Amino acid sequence: MPAIKDSFELTKRFAAGESSAEATLQAALRVIDAREPKVGAFLHLDRDGALAQARDLDARRKQGQKLGPLAAVPIAVKDNIHVAGHATTCASRMLDGFKAPYDATVTARLKAAGAIILGKTNLDEFAMGSSCENSALKQTRNPFDLERVPGGSSGGSAAAVAARMALMALGSDTGGSIREPASFCGVVGLKPSYGRVSRYGLVAFASSLDQIGPFTLSVRDAALSLSVMAGADPLDATSSSEPVPDYLSALRADLRGMRVGVVRAYFDECPNQDVADRCRQAVERMKALGAEIVEIELPRAKDGLAVYYVVASAEASSNLSRFDGVRYGLREKTPSAIQNYFATRGRGFGPEVKRRIMLGTYALSAGAYEEFYGRASRVRTLMVNDFKAAFARCDVIASPTAPFTAFRAGEKSDPLSMYLCDIYTIPANLAGLCALSMPVGADARGLPVGLQLQCAPYAETTLFGAASALESDLNLNLAPTL
């Protein structure tokens, strides 16, 4: 890639005529050719399509046409988000042979803004996982240590940005699937408020929790990308009609007048001392920038993991019933329709997806619904109320993003230890908050550590303000040596 800091800088250079879209793309492809064989971030790379997009941008600029705010930025897309004419696999055998007939709303908005779509990135199958090891198609490695995982489920997108193969990438976050890999890979990862970004064209996992968001190299890039993607969409009834603010104007250099809430247990009980120390130091820097540090309580947060795996699994059980071997994707040839259904789903879904479908189906069954799904829904409401009380006392909540740094591939072989990866991130999804992970240092092995900042729904301006001030103060330069 050219020697640039982020997408924001690239667009300024392109607009000034200092670079061409084709030259920028060719530079990105050279990086991909050198690093992709080691990292394995992409499931599909669209060289010809990207080149056509770049040449079109150059031609339009030459004609004096006004171009969008992401003109010439190379972007990767998680492979559970539709790009018209391209395969959407969800990293599963179940969608073998399927091609998206339309663009997701976010994809269409990125294209309209001038972004160049490089291709589709790897993920945990149907976005179910925290390490990207559940992909049925390939293994993605962490650019900071190729023996370690990039996090999940959006591991391919995080790794692509960390390795500078793309300047920006899309992911989806249902329980931490943007923030946790952002932490592991040393990049910025944003989960917008629920409803802030349209989910039309995202393959649904858990519809009341899913949200699309970006991976970027800077906080201002996260603000820039959200300004393009956010806003109401008539194709998504859950998208919000809340006005979209000028997110870039929210960036700030100090935190005077801001109250930062901390849950002491998140730091004191963190199992990794390096993570706890780096995050404490980051909070101290926020204090030095003028913020008031306020201790808060989130008493039901400890129940988040249990609530999430009931609610998310129940919604997944319902959403994934559409993959039946009849209309699209994998189809096993059997003597009868019912045998086809069982054979296709039995072969097409991987172990983790089957586990969650079975758990969710049981939670929704007549004899268990009230005991599991009903109770989980009530506790979820109590968690929302806890956050409302907390945000009456503070503007932003700071915590570790993940309880540890990137672990070795195969290290967490049992489901429970994998589920615990998302213990700090899940509550934001259950409450519909906006949340961001940003790098704040590295552990003793040189692996990135992420700090999570959370704000009330639709308070992304506050989120970007807090994160940008801290980012500028830390002035980190975390980059893998590939």
Q: Which residues are catalytic?
A: 78, 153, 177
Measured distance CA(452)–CA(474) in Å, rounded: 15
Dihedral sign of CA atoms 122, 125, 127, 128 in order? negative
With DSSP H G I counted as helix, E B as strand and the rest as coil, what are the percentages for the chain, rounded to 5? 45, 15, 40
- Strands annotated E in 109-182: 116-121, 168-173
Collapsing DSSP to helix, strand or coil, 399 comes out as: strand
Which residue, among 382, 373, 233, has the nearest Cα to 317 in the 3D structure? 373
The dihedral built from the CA positions of residue 83, 71, 460 and 236, taken in this order, carries a sign that is negative
Q: Helices marked H in 82-176 — which ranges?
A: 105-112, 155-162
Backbone angles phi, psi at 75, to 5 degrees: -125, 140
Q: Residue 120 forms beta bridges with which residues?
A: 44, 77
The answer to whether 79 touches 98, Cβ cutoff 8 Å, is no
The rounded distance, in Å, linking the Cα atoms of 150 and 133 is: 9
Task: Report the alpha-carbon distance of residue 188 to residue 185 in Å, rounded.
Answer: 9
**CA nearest neighbour of 358 among 414, 306, 416, 313:** 313
- Is 451:438 a contact under the CB 8 Å cutoff? yes
Task: Please say whether the beta carbons of 46 and 80 come within 8 A.
Answer: no
